[in-house]
């Protein structure tokens, strides 16, 4: 089976590493000639909306998927219209690319969200600030990730300035949630609508970038997160891995956003679950049975941001696993991650403290 992937970053790279043992081959479309994930498959260097490149993908691939949501939904739709199975469905991509549609979907299926209002101009922003209340977060409707395109508005005086800084693009204003913690659920839906869910991931962000994610087997919010995820998977007639990020506040989960793809907060599943999110995404889109999502011990992931540290002290620790993405190093860029695994949550915390110390990331 030949699988086409739109996007050739680290997620494509880890998909390929998971798919090769299943006997899959990969064709990767990415405009960057040095896309790190593309080097493991056949690489088509072209824009995501290049009609010749898309036609080649459609012609040669048995299944097509994508590794990030900033590919044009129109490209995914065109591929699907060529009768190539595109998973997850392009409709999920369209929703995930647009914060307003995303929040509307959450509301439609009865998943709690923070108060949110559409913003199209300064006037509607001022109105939204009154409805939502301050502090609030102004976010571009599309193309935001890792905290980009977001401005916190703490008081009415800066509303105008915030709108100017956003350069007038369509946006949403969301109530600022003083959450107790952030969790995500990595869900997967396969052939015949079968679903599976990984143990919740508890995530810590700094400056809008995920720095650590811990597996949380037996989390008290597990059942609720799975229930919400099921509603979304069914509503979207979904196929593949779907990540849903929540804020936990006063015992309730508020949905923040979805990613219709494998997700950074699920990287610990490579060592910390029986079947990784990458393998399960591929199994789902290839009509293969889903693999067990049971945890293997307790696991945590630490992102390597900007540079890869000296691997020796890291690899000297037991059950520490290094994942280098082969990307050019740049400040703020995710260039790899480390997984730590332990038999108990207490032991995991001790190891995690050591790893974050070595990596230079605040725990």
Residue 184 or 293 with smaller CB distance to a second copy:
293
State in angstroms the smallest separation of the CB of 298 from a second copy: 13
The least CB distance from residue 202 to a second copy, in Å, is 23
Closest separation in Å from C-beta 19 to a second copy: 10
Query: Using an 8 Å Cβ cutoff, are 85 and 64 in contact?
Result: yes
Nearest approach, Cβ of residue 192 and a second copy (Å): 12
**CB closer to a second copy out of 316 and 344:** 316
Q: Which of 63, 84, 99, 323 binds a second copy (CB under 8 A)?
A: 323
Name which of residues 327 to 356 contact a second copy (CB under 8 A). Answer: 336, 341
Angle of helix 51-60 versus helix 73-81 axis, rounded to 10:
40
- Got the DSSP string for 223-234? HHHHHHHHHHHH
Least separation in angstroms between residue 30's CB and a second copy is: 17
- Which residue in the set 60, 127, 249, 321 belongs to the binding site for a second copy (CB under 8 A)? 321
For 43, list phi and psi in degrees, rounded to 5.
Answer: -110, 120
Integer angstrom CA distances of residue 241 from 66, 196, 299, 331: 11, 9, 19, 29
Least Cβ distance, residue 261 to a second copy (angstroms): 19
Region of 130 please: left (phi>0), alpha (psi -120 to 50) or beta.
alpha
x-or-dash pattern for a second copy, window 277-316, by CB under 8 A?
------x----xx-xx-x-x-----------x--xx--xx
Which 13-42 positions form the footprint of a second copy (CB under 8 A)?
13, 17, 20-23, 40
Residue closer to a second copy by CB (options 122, 288) is 288
Residues 66, 313: Cα–Cα separation, whole Å:
35
Nearest distance from residue 22's CB to a second copy, in Å? Answer: 6
Please report, in angstroms and rounded to a whole number, the separation of the first and last CA atoms in the chain: 42
Nearer to a second copy by Cβ, of 147 and 217: the residue is 217
Cβ atoms 358, 314 nearer than 8 A: yes
Does 2 help bind a second copy (rule: CB under 8 A)?
A: no
Residue 305: helix, strand or coil by DSSP?
strand
**Among positions 51, 168, 193, 318, the unique one binding a second copy when judged by CB under 8 A:** 318
Q: Residue 289 contacts by C-beta under 8 Å, 6 or more apart in sequence?
A: 190, 194, 283
Backbone CA torsion sign across 27, 30, 32, 36: negative
How far is CA 281 from its chain centroid? 13
Binding site for a second copy (CB under 8 A): 13, 17, 20-23, 40, 274, 283, 288-289, 291-292, 294, 296, 308, 311-312, 315-316, 318-319, 321-324, 326, 336, 341
């Amino acid at each position: 089976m030949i699988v086409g992937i739109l996007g050739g970053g680290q997620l494509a790279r880890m998909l390929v590493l998971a798919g090769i043992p299943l006997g899959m081959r990969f064709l990767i479309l990415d405009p960057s000639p040095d896309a790190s994930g593309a080097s493991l498959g056949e690489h088509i260097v072209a824009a995501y909306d290049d009609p010749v490149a898309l036609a080649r993908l459609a012609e040669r691939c048995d299944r097509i998927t994508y590794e990030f949501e900033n590919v044009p939904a129109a490209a995914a739709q065109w591929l699907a219209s060529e009768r190539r199975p595109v998973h997850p469905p392009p409709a999920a991509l369209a929703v995930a690319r647009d914060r307003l549609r995303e929040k509307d979907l959450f509301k439609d299926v009865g998943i709690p969200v923070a108060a949110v209002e559409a913003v199209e101009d300064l006037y509607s922003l001022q109105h939204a600030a009154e409805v939502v209340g301050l502090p609030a977060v102004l976010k571009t409707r599309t193309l935001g990730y890792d905290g980009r395109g977001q401005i916190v508005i703490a008081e009415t005086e800066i509303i105008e300035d915030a709108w100017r800084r956003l350069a007038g693009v369509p946006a949403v204003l969301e109530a600022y949630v003083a959450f107790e913690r952030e969790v995500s659920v990595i869900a997967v839906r396969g052939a015949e609508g079968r679903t599976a869910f990984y143990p919740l991931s508890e995530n810590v962000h700094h400056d809008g970038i995920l720095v650590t994610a811990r597996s949380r087997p037996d989390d008290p919010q597990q059942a609720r997160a799975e229930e919400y995820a099921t509603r979304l998977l069914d509503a979207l007639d979904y196929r593949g891995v779907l990540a849903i990020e929540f804020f936990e506040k006063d015992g309730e989960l508020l949905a923040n956003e979805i990613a219709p793809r494998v997700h950074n907060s699920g990287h610990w599943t490579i060592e910390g679950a029986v079947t990784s999110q990458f393998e399960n995404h591929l199994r789902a889109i290839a009509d293969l049975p889903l693999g067990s999502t049971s945890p293997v011990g307790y696991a945590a992931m630490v992102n390597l941001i900007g540079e890869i540290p000296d691997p020796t002290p890291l690899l000297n620790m037991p059950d520490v696993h290094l994942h280098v993405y082969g990307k050019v190093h740049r400040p703020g860029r995710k260039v790899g991650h480390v997984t730590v695994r332990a038999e108990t949550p207490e032991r995991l915390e001790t190891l995690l403290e050591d790893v974050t110390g070595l990596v230079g990331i605040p725990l």
